[in-house]
């Protein structure tokens, strides 16, 4: 009995290419659906409150 090892590999490559193409299509469509807001985004920065007070001093001097 002769086994054909090439067929599953070719099918796997085809499946991977199909999944990659679908993923790129979905990412592209998702990126095009929402319009960017015109307001400036707010960045919230949280740091550990150190006992030395170095961050507070840096913020005051800024």
According to the model, what pLDDT value does residue 23 have? 92
Report yes or no: 47 and 56 within 8 Å, Cβ to Cβ: no
- pLDDT tens by residue, 8-58: 556 677 888 899 999 999 888 877 666 666 678 788 877 787 888 888 888
Question: Could you give the number of structural domains in the chain?
Answer: 1
According to the model, what pLDDT value does residue 22 have? 93
61 occurs within a structural domain: no
Record the pTM: 0.38
| 26-30-34 Cα angle (round to 5) | 170
Q: Look up the domain containing 3 and give its range.
A: 1-34
1 or 49: which leads in pLDDT: 49
């Amino acid at each position: 009995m002769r086994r054909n090892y090439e067929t599953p590999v070719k099918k796997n490559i085809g499946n991977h290419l199909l999944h990659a193409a679908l993923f790129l299509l979905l990412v592209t469509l998702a990126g095009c659906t929402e319009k960017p807001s015109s307001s400036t985004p707010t960045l919230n920065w949280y740091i550990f409150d150190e006992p030395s007070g170095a961050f507070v001093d840096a913020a005051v001097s800024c």
